[in-house]
Chain A
Amino acid sequence: MTDKPQANAKDARVRRHFFTLYLFLLAALAINMGSTLLDLGVVAVPLRLAMAALMAASIALIFMRLRDSAVLVRLVAATSLLWVVFLFVLSFSDYLTR
């Protein structure tokens, strides 16, 4: 009967990916918070931002299912990142060279 819940091996795999990502996100958060207790010098800021970027990218790829999305959706996501890169690179190329 089709109105009963229908789960298969693929669905179980998707759920496993969600739980794996969740554990990764908590671990990454703990590392980022823990890094504030260490004196990491000049690498502290890039490390924390890189960790946050990795967390953000993982959420987009797995929770937002970008990995399995249509080509057009992936193109929209990639283009949006390109505009953000333009925004930051062009602005900082001004501020950092004054």
Chain B
Amino acid sequence: MTSRSNRTTVIIAHQFESADQQLDADLLGMWLFLVTELLLFSGAFLAFSVYYHQYSEAFSAAAGELHWLLAGFNTALLLTSGLTVALAEQAAVENNRRATLGLLALTIALGLAFLALKGYEYHSEYRAGLIPFLDQPFAFDGPDPIHAMLFYNFYFTLTGLHALHMIIGLSAMGVILVSGYRWRDRHRVARQVRIAGLYWAFVDIVWVLVYTSLYLVGR
């Protein structure tokens, strides 16, 4: 269904009666998807918690080798990107094209900065011989290296899975930035930014839990 009002075209998929109904359906669909994502990460966190409980000494020693200050700065970057995407959502609701696109671009830049710093962390761990795969000798010299290796498996799995989600979120926001540039249907852009913002906030939540569990709990 297409309705025109005051030079703005509102395009609604044929199965919906109104733009509000379409937004409600989109939000519910995204939340249901995020529930499945939450359960995916919860399984990994549960396994980590059980092993942390069993091998806390080895896990704490392994956590002590991580760049917790750099990762803390990275956490602040990601929280800032959470603010910018929330502000972009609000700017889109207010029909402020310039602010919406600018804040989306800033969110993408902050997300890329996060990934670059994460890449630097991975590189330094590779140099230190702390990667328990890639056919590299595991060079951890603390107590119980076997279970420290288990910690690093969790570390790379959880942070890698999180980084993958970030890349997906950044790609989605990049598409919205390009497709929304001409601002033909502001309601559609606002809806897309809201959905992408939900996903991005979830990525923020996961990182807060990853950072606390891996970097801080054992320290």
Residues of B within 8 A of A2 (CB): 5-8, 95
Residues of B within 8 A of A22 (CB): 79-80, 82-83
Q: Is the interface of A mostly helix, strand, loop or mixed?
A: helix
B90 and A15 contact, CB distance less than 8 A: yes
Nearest-CB residue, chain B, relative to A33: B72
Bound-state CA distance A5–B98 (Å) is 10
Bound-state CA distance A96–B105 (Å) is 47
Contact of A26 with B76 at beta-carbon distance under 8 Å, contacts A1-B6, A6-B94 already known:
yes
Bound-state CA distance A72–B53 (Å) is 37
Tally of chain B residues near chain A (CB < 8 A): 53
Bound-state CA distance A17–B201 (Å) is 15
A91 and B46 contact, CB distance less than 8 A: yes
Bound-state CA distance A15–B27 (Å) is 20
B137 at interface (Cβ–Cβ under 8 A)? no
Bound-state CA distance A2–B211 (Å) is 44
Residues of A within 8 A of B38 (CB): 80, 84
Chain B 93-104: CB-based contact to A (< 8 A → 1; otherwise 0):
111100100000
Contact of A80 with B6 at beta-carbon distance under 8 Å, contacts A22-B80, A88-B49 already known:
no
Contact of A36 with B68 at beta-carbon distance under 8 Å, contacts A64-B202, A88-B46 already known:
yes
Bound-state CA distance A19–B79 (Å) is 11
A80 and B35 contact, CB distance less than 8 A: yes
B90 and A18 contact, CB distance less than 8 A: yes
Residues of B within 8 A of A92 (CB): 49-50
B138 at interface (Cβ–Cβ under 8 A)? no
Within 8 A of B (CB), among A77-98: 77, 79-80, 83-84, 87-88, 91-92, 95-96
Chain A 1-14: CB-based contact to B (< 8 A → 1; otherwise 0):
11111110001001
B43 and A87 contact, CB distance less than 8 A: yes
Chain B 44-74: CB-based contact to A (< 8 A → 1; otherwise 0):
0010011001100000000000001100100
B154 at interface (Cβ–Cβ under 8 A)? no
Contact of A87 with B46 at beta-carbon distance under 8 Å, contacts A48-B212, A49-B217, A72-B28 already known:
yes
Contact of A73 with B28 at beta-carbon distance under 8 Å, contacts A18-B90, A22-B79, A49-B212 already known:
yes
Q: Smallest CB–CB gap between A80 and chain B, Å?
A: 4
B115 at interface (Cβ–Cβ under 8 A)? no
Q: Smallest CB–CB gap between A63 and chain B, Å?
A: 4
Q: Smallest CB–CB gap between B154 and chain A, Å?
A: 16
A51 and B212 contact, CB distance less than 8 A: yes
Which 3 residue pairs across A and B have the least CB separation, nearest first?
A: A52-B212, A5-B96, A80-B35
8 A–B contacts from the bound complex (CB under 8 Å): A3-B8, A5-B91, A11-B93, A22-B82, A29-B76, A52-B208, A52-B213, A95-B53
* B interface residues with partner A (beta carbon < 8 Å): 5-8, 24, 27-28, 31-32, 34-35, 38-39, 42-43, 46, 49-50, 53-54, 68-69, 72, 75-76, 79-80, 82-83, 85-87, 90-91, 93-96, 99, 197-198, 201-202, 204-205, 208-209, 211-213, 216-217, 219
